[in-house]
Amino acid sequence: GCVLVVSVIEQLAQWHNSTVKAAVERLCDYIPGKYQIICHMSCCIDREMNADVVCHSLRLCKQDPGQPLCHLYSPPKREKHSSGLFHTLPRTRPKRQIRSKSFMGFSSVCAFPLLANLCEKIKYVLRNKLPFEDVDGDKFSTFPTLRGYHWRGRDCNDKNTTVYPGRRPDNWDAKGDSNCNGIWGVDPKDGVPYEEKFCKGADSKGVVLLGDSAGAHFHIPPEWMTVTQMSAKSFANLPMAFSDEFDWPQFSEITGFLNSTIGGWTDSLYLRLRKRNRCNHRDLQNISQNGIVYFSINMAPYLSCSLARNQLLDNPAIVVYATIGNDVCNGERDTLAHMTTPKEMLSNVVQALRYLDSHLPNGSHVILTGLVDGRFLWDNLHDRYHPLGQLNKDVTYSQLYSFLDCLQQVSPCSGWLTPNETLRNLTSERALQLSNVLKEIARSEKFANFDIFYMDFPLRQTAEEWRKMGGEPWQLIEPVDGFHPSQIAAALGTGITWQKALHEWPQVLGKENPFNDQIEAIFKDQGGH
């Protein structure tokens, strides 16, 4: 964190030919008020020292005994002759040393009073994987972030626990909208409830994603650290991003429903299901989390807390299992020893599916998505410049990966984000073994309340499709972290998944509702309500 912030400040000073103090003031003008935790750092930064040196001098970065010295930038030339990279750290400026003590809390943003309350809310959300603002406790919210309706369909009555997205209509919703799909009331022409007229027998179903950070759609805007593009507008979405854990599920491949504001476009399984049957409106749940390894643990307690589906009262659901890398990705030095084994995968996935079978309404479907081949990352990014390195051509993704790997348990995937080709191959070999376990489960296991399907993660098809559109493979990867699928990759992947489902499992998607146009016409006549 320190290296990132100091890099941006130093590059702002360089780009605008200003002092460090002026650069800090400029950055603070860009950032919304209570997030200005870096606005007291100007006294500690020297443009002649790179960010690694500054952060070690502030004691925000350190070298543990017997461990390698972690640095993002190449050592300054004047220090290469010394006994260590930071041998020449300034030791003759007592004011700097005294002031640096006040920045020890910088490594934890939650130590700042203005952010403490928000941090407590986020901790609650992370513990429970449920909306923080949920008056009636039905696991749906009228508030967008903090696991609110960016993650689950928007509640239309947060004071009534029997009203929520995805339920079967109460008495055909003649008097109120019990399932929040916007269809309720009685047609005055014939006295038939609209829900009965348009949605009866329509095979309505929702979509639920059980995923990792890729499913949550982790994204850090590159303009936050590209000084040539930086402005106040760049940070306008910082509060929302922070309270959504730097995830953007509202634009994601499975549950996206808003037009993307982070590049590319939004296309999702939910939007296509909604277009196919307008009665599916708002029936979505994105139960994903950054950094969690679902298949390496017993999922039942997690699902019992987070999944909102009543077997007796609700519509069936399409549940997508898509932890595309976490079972082989970790930040450990001995990364292979910490990967999920095929035996563990089989046991834990079957346990999770048995839990789902006892809670999903009859007629549901489960899609198991295979793991990605992450060699794509190194092959397409390692020699390109990271956003932090574009101004001075001094930070490649290879350097970033090495820096993150050096910081123990910080790298998102030590097995793939490495110059060690043998390790990359072994990681992909394990990923393929685990995918084969999922494929065999889909082939051999049977459940009472859902059928089960398997599909490979469509990376190769996505890259081919993007090339046909004139794109480059590296554009399918998030530019800041160099690891997650980008907005473009998410949108293209949706189309590939949809076509496979249409041709191979049409029963999963349900039939097309012949009344869609009439429903939209009535909405339009009523001003969109």
Distance from C-alpha of 55 to C-alpha of 47, rounded to nearest angstrom: 13
If you search the block for the tokens 């008495």, which residue do you land on? 171
208: helix, strand or coil:
strand
415: helix, strand or coil:
coil
Which residues are CB-contacts of 158 (< 8 A; sequence separation ≥ 6)?
Answer: 133, 134, 135, 136, 140, 141, 142
User: Across the beta sheet with 450-455, what order do the strands follow?
Assistant: 284-288, 206-211, 317-322, 364-369, 450-455
Name the active-site residue from 141, 213, 268, 288.
213
Distance from C-alpha of 521 to C-alpha of 391, rounded to nearest angstrom: 52
Distance from C-alpha of 525 to C-alpha of 520, rounded to nearest angstrom: 9
Distance from C-alpha of 501 to C-alpha of 391, rounded to nearest angstrom: 44
Residue 213 is a catalytic residue: yes
DSSP for residue 154: P
Distance from C-alpha of 6 to C-alpha of 20, rounded to nearest angstrom: 10
Phi and psi, residue 211, nearest 5°:
-140, -175
Distance from C-alpha of 291 to C-alpha of 62, rounded to nearest angstrom: 24
> Where does 58-165 have alpha helices with state H?
94-100, 113-128
Tokens describing residue 139 = 């696991």
Distance from C-alpha of 80 to C-alpha of 57, rounded to nearest angstrom: 17
The set of catalytic residues is 213
